[in-house]
Amino acid sequence: MKPRALTFSDSELAVGVAGGDAAAESSLYEKYSERVLYLALSERHSREDAEDIRAETFLRVLQALREGKLRKPDSLPSFIVGIALNVMREHRRQRAGTDALTDREEEIAGGESPEAAFLDQEAARSIAEMAARLKPREQQFLRMYYYEELPKEEIARALGVREERLRLIKSRALKSFRAIYEKLKRG
Partner 1 sequence: MIQNGPRPHYGLSMTHREAIDGEVAERYALGRLSPGERRAFQEHFFECGDCFARAQETSRFVAGVRHAARAGVLPARPAVAPTRRGWLRPAFAAAAFASVLLTAALGWLLFSQMPGLREDLARERQARAQAERDNQRRLSQANEALADERRQRESERARLESQLELLAQQRPPAGADGRPRAGAPPVVSQANTPLVILDAVRGARGGAHQLALGGGAAAATIWIEVGPGESFDGYRLQIFRGGRLVETVSGAKPNAYGAVAVTVPARLLRPGAYVVKLFGVKDKKPELVGEYDLSVRGAR
- Per CB under 8 A, residues contacting partner 1 are 32, 34-35, 38-39, 41-42, 77-78, 80-81, 85, 113, 115-120, 123-124, 126-128, 131, 136, 139-140, 142-144, 146-151, 154-155, 157-160, 174, 177-178, 181
CA distance 133 to 140: 13
Question: Shortest gap between Cβ of 125 and partner 1 (angstroms)?
Answer: 9
Helix (H) or strand (E) holding 82: helix 76-98
**Residues in CB range of 158: below 8 A, 6 or more apart:** 140, 144, 150
Question: Shortest gap between Cβ of 151 and partner 1 (angstroms)?
Answer: 6
For partner 1, give the closer residue by CB, 162 or 178.
Answer: 178
CA distance 61 to 80: 7
Distances (CA, A) of 131 to 12, 162, 165, 176: 45, 21, 17, 9
Nearest partner of 169 among 185, 180, 155, 182, judged by Cα: 155
For partner 1, give the closer residue by CB, 99 or 185.
Answer: 185
For partner 1, give the closer residue by CB, 24 or 117.
Answer: 117
Question: Shortest gap between Cβ of 98 and partner 1 (angstroms)?
Answer: 26
CA distance 103 to 83: 23
For partner 1, give the closer residue by CB, 99 or 148.
Answer: 148
For partner 1, give the closer residue by CB, 9 or 99.
Answer: 9
Question: Shortest gap between Cβ of 68 and partner 1 (angstroms)?
Answer: 21
Question: Shortest gap between Cβ of 77 and partner 1 (angstroms)?
Answer: 4
